[in-house]
Structures are given as structure tokens and as C-alpha cells.
Amino acid sequence: MEKWDTVAIVGVGLIGGSIGLALRERGLARQVVGIGRRTASLRVARQIGAVSRTTLDLGRGVARAELVIVCTPVGQIAADVRAAANACRIGALLTDVGSTKAEIVAALEGELPRQTRFVGSHPLAGGEKSGPAAATADLLVGRTVIVTPSAATHDDGIADVAALWSSLGANVVRMPPVEHDRILAGTSHLPHLTASALAAATPEHDLPLVASGWLDTTRVAAGDPELWRQIFATNRAHLLTALGRYEQVLATLRRALERGDEAKLVEVLAEAKRRRDAIANSM
């Protein structure tokens, strides 16, 4: 892949920091500028080598960038992309890493100034850790990045963004933003909701007797409540649909327990195991 001259990363946490590290270690960018709101985070990003220079000023940070990657919280992405588009090089490429896509893409569609091109992305990577200190150059290697063009997205922008993620070792999948949000409601947002419900429903005095099953099942509930509120808020309808499917399965399990319907219990547990094993075996 062609080398970028200047890449700007807005928000250098786990994902932004990892992208910076990967770009630099792979020699894909001459210069990576880290833009953030907290001096302490920017210092860490510089120290681990994720970025070559940093600034608190978005306009100045993106001024020479031909590629801008926005890694801020979902509720802030559209505004940050718009601000960056107003200040970066003419014709620059912009993308983001937000966990929901329809609202962001709709807000930016056909709207950007100065011949800049925006294509939404969502890397399926991360976890319960956060901040640049947890960043690694191989965070995206072998992971899936979903690129979400709309009917209005220019073809060359799509190809360039897909090439960016491929160059960092990821597998790229393309789909419309609404389709992304519909699927991720079930594969990412609902798991967070159920994990949080489980943690919140566990009596506090029983917590010393949780074992590895509880720890796994509630792990993502350690995520930032405000970040997840924004994700839920921007994918409400799909999340409610996925929750409805889940509530039905849970009601089936409750009925089977109440009636002592052992055959039904085993049927649902076996179906769950089949789906879980299908993934475990392919990852």
C-alpha cells in the first residue's frame, strides 16, 4: 500500500493508539499526529510511539493531514469529522471507528466541504481495557473491520478506506450503515446490556462467591457507562428488537424451568452450545 505523508488520529485511546502504532511500525505513514483533549493521554501516546507529535487543537492537528481517523466517543464523532473536514488538506480522506454507524453516516452524507471524503468504519476490536497504555500494534491483525458506505459514498473513498484497514492486517467487510447497526445490536450491544443486567442483579453480599463463569459473562460490564449510553442511544430501535428476541428465549427457559420441562431445557442449551462452538471453532 502507498505510504501516507501525514495521518491525523483524533482521540488516541486503545483503538486510536493501536492504529498509530501499527501505521508507524509498518512504515505506512511519514508522520502521525495525535489529537486529544487530555495532555496526559497524549503524552502516553507519544511515549509508546503511537504518534510522532500531539496537540490539543483539532484544527491545527489535522491541517497537513491527507488521512484523518476519528476515534472519539460515538456521540461526538460527526462533529469531530465535520471540524476536521473544515481544516485538513483539500481532498483528504476521513474515517471513524464508531460502534454505531447509521446516525453518523447520515449526519455527514454529502455534506463535507473542500472535496473531502468520509467513509464510516467499525473495527471489531477492543475489549474491557482502554486508554493508549493498552494499545498494541497488532490489535487489528486478523480482526474484522466493517466499512459502511452509503449510496452517496464515492467509490474511490471506499476502496482507500478498505485498503487502509487491510494494510493494518484486518479483514474488511462492507455493508450499509443500517445493516451494520441491525447486526451489531445483537452481536455487540445486546451482550453489553445483558452483561450489565447480570452484574447489577447480583446481590452485593454474594459477590465474593462468583467464579469464572460470572467473571466471563459480566466482563464487558466494566466498560465506560457514558460511552455505552451513547452507543445504545444511537442504536435504540435495533437494540430493542434484539432485546425482544433475547427476552423470548429467556421466557422459554423460564417456562421450561417452572414446568420441569427437561427436554426443552436441553434443547435450548444445546442450540446455544452449537452457536457458541461454531464461533469458537472458527476463531
Minimum distance of its own copies from residue 164's CB (angstroms) = 19
| Closer to its own copies by Cβ: residue 90 or 263 | 263
| Closer to its own copies by Cβ: residue 90 or 215 | 215
Piece in contact with its own copies (CB under 8 A), picked from 9-17, 55-63, 65-73, 226-234 = 226-234
129 interacts with its own copies by CB under 8 A: no
String of contacts with its own copies for each residue 239-268, x by CB under 8 A? xx-xx-xxxxxx--xx--xx-x-x--xx-x
Task: Identify the residue whose cell numbers are 476490536.
Answer: 125
**DSSP code string of the chain:** -PPEEEEEEE--SHHHHHHHHHHHHTT-EEEEEEE-S-HHHHHHHHHTTS-SEEES-HHHHHTT-SEEEE-S-HHHHHHHHHHHHTTS-TT-EEEE--S--HHHHHHHTTT-STT-EEEEEEE----S--SGGG--TTTTTT-EEEEE--TTS-HHHHHHHHHHHHHTTPEEEE--HHHHHHHHIIIIIHHHHHHHHHHHHS-GGGGGG--HHHHHHHGGGGS-HHHHHHHHHTTHHHHHHHHHHHHHHHHHHHHHHHHT-HHHHHHHHHHHHHHHHHHHTT-
Segment 194-223, which members bind its own copies (CB under 8 A)?
194-204, 206-223
Minimum distance of its own copies from residue 82's CB (angstroms) = 23
Residues in contact with its own copies, total (CB under 8 A)? 86
Segment 131-160, which members bind its own copies (CB under 8 A)?
143-144, 146
Piece in contact with its own copies (CB under 8 A), picked from 29-37, 43-51, 130-138, 228-236 = 228-236
Rounding to the nearest 10 degrees, give the CA dihedral for residues 171, 130, 88, 38.
Answer: -170
Which listed residue (34, 108, 193, 234) binds its own copies by CB under 8 A?
193
Minimum distance of its own copies from residue 165's CB (angstroms) = 15
Q: How far apart are CA 197 and CA 203, in angstroms?
A: 12
190 interacts with its own copies by CB under 8 A: yes
The C-alpha cell that represents 21 in the structure block: 502504532
Which listed residue (73, 126, 149, 177) binds its own copies by CB under 8 A?
126
30 interacts with its own copies by CB under 8 A: no
Cβ-contact 32, 20 below 8 angstroms: yes
| Closer to its own copies by Cβ: residue 153 or 234 | 234
Which listed residue (80, 124, 136, 168) binds its own copies by CB under 8 A?
124
| Closer to its own copies by Cβ: residue 90 or 279 | 279
120 interacts with its own copies by CB under 8 A: no
Minimum distance of its own copies from residue 62's CB (angstroms) = 29
| Closer to its own copies by Cβ: residue 27 or 225 | 225
